[in-house]
Amino acid sequence: MPAARLPSSSFTRLDGVSAQAEPTTNSLERTWWLRLGMVFTDPKTVFAWLRDDTDAAAQARQEPVLLVGFLAACAGVLTSNGISHALDDFGLDGVDLAVVVMFATLIYGIVGYFFVGALVYVGEQLADGLGSYRRARHILAFACAPLALSLVLWPVRLALYGSDNFKSGGSDSGTGGAIFEGIETAVVLWCFALLVLGIRTANGWSWRRTLVAAAVPAIVPVLAFARAYGAI
């Protein structure tokens, strides 16, 4: 017997569904780009939207997550002890330094996203959370938006201190350098505050339960500060 054929009207309906699905996906992706900016004005609402952990929602916010992760990693690399002394310790020129920063950014971004994201997830699980590892990583990424934004300070730092930003004892070691370090500390604390808020809002928890979960990823900034101030 010849194979049954669908009526032409069926293909028309299928094409209509496909045509509708693509704009819906694109509009959701655009929405998440707008929501990225809202992290600075209405973070609680943004983290509430992260409760939707369906594949469609997670895919729609993937690009903003990757951008924030990359920029935050770059900011973290530029403020690290190794890079701040790179021109002293390794005898690099400007091009070499740019290559090192880019390579380190990729490594920091991947490790930070998956390792610190795993700590967020473990913390949630210890507090009897039901969220996924993927959602934990996305909470972390949106919480790091202030760190990504802090990159806008680097053109100013380079204009003021040039290569001294990457040497010890340069012109950035005075009051101006201390101001920038204070800003860096404030940004890290801002990120951690957003992470705590994100865990609480996405899970709908009390503050007590939230702080139990946040204690695990808090290990990272605590160790970073201890290392920066010579405690370890």
Signed CA dihedral, 188, 189, 192, 194: sign only: negative
Instruction: Give residue-wise pLDDT tens across range 133-145.
Output: 999 999 999 999 9
For residue 155, the model assigns a pLDDT of: 93
Domain presence at residue 14: no
Domain presence at residue 17: no
Instruction: Give residue-wise pLDDT tens across range 2-43.
Output: 544 545 444 344 344 344 444 476 888 899 999 999 999 999
Domain presence at residue 7: no
Which pTM value belongs to this model? 0.83
Domain presence at residue 141: yes
Task: Please give the tally of structural domains in the chain.
Answer: 1
Which structural domain, as residue segments, surrounds residue 206? 25-228
